[in-house]
Amino acid sequence: MRRLGLGSTLLWIGLSILTLLPVWWMLVVSMRPRVKLYSKSFVIDDFYWDNFRAVLGNSTFLHYLWNSMIVATSNAALVCTLGLLAAFGLSRYKIAGGDNVFFWLITNRMAPPAVFLLPLFLLFTKWFVFGDFMLFDTKIGLILLYCVFNLPFAIWLLKGMLDGIPPELDEAARVDGATTSQILFQLILPLARPGLAVTFILTWIFAWNEYLFAATLTSSSSARTVTTALAEYVSVTGTNWGEMAAMAFLTTLPALIVLGFVQKHIVTGLTFGALKG
């Protein structure tokens, strides 16, 4: 109704600067040679790429980066597939105790990860062992584990989207003799594609960002992820701030790329569909 006044405009600008400032500072530091690190200027004075070159030339870091790619992509694919099936079941069938299942799903998402570190560590090293294979320090272990927080999120987001597709369409298709799998794959899937894309991207980012489980449940470069690389880097050297900033920036990069695409859905997703962003 009312136009934005001068005060609000200034607030808007100030707020945006404050929000961007720490990330900008990270970028500024990552592009500074060691001798200029103590400059307080907010400007990127010279485009110095050696920090990035050093980080990307480190084969261990590249390995971690690759692991993160595999884990995040596989987890997002798994979560979207199972999430779509579950959301279809919850949205299109009356399930006895469906509300309780729903409630149980949120509790999985909300549980403090630190509480589950110890039991998962013990289960991964002592119980989920099949011959020579154990889940500890494997990418598969992380892929399955990240379902704990990503699967509830995906089911929630997708259920909201499937609820928006009129059930009359299914009924019409069923009258025409379509089987359930035809309805799911040939009718629902194409209509739900935009929702699936958003779900895939957000769950991918959450898997990419995860640190605590990855740090505890992996021990070698065969499964460690990029977030653990960043934490390890600080504890090992701690002084080469330029390279650390470059590494932090590379860790943040995927989030920056998809930012514009997910902004519409992030609030809906994080509030379990309670709010439409």
How far is 75 from 90, CA to CA, in rounded Å?
22
How far is 31 from 50, CA to CA, in rounded Å?
8
Footprint on residues 187-206 left by other proteins (CB under 8 A): 205
Q: Does 164 bind other proteins (CB under 8 A)?
A: no
Q: Does 129 bind other proteins (CB under 8 A)?
A: no
What 3 state SS string does 66-83 have?
HHHHHHHHHHHHHHHHHH
CB of 156 within 8 A of CB of 105?
yes
Least CB distance to other proteins at residue 42 (A):
8
In the complex with other proteins, the residue whose CB is nearer, 152 or 160, is 152
How far is 146 from 225, CA to CA, in rounded Å?
13
Footprint on residues 230-269 left by other proteins (CB under 8 A): 230-231, 234, 241, 244-245, 247-249, 251-252, 255-256, 258-260, 262-264, 266-267
CA angle 231, 216, 230 (to 5 degrees): 15
Q: Does 19 bind other proteins (CB under 8 A)?
A: yes
Closest CA to 269 of 205, 215, 199: 199
Q: Does 77 bind other proteins (CB under 8 A)?
A: no
Region near other proteins per CB under 8 A, out of 45-53, 55-63, 188-196, 226-234: 226-234
Q: Does 54 bind other proteins (CB under 8 A)?
A: no
Tell which one of 44, 77, 144, 187 touches other proteins (CB under 8 A).
Answer: 144
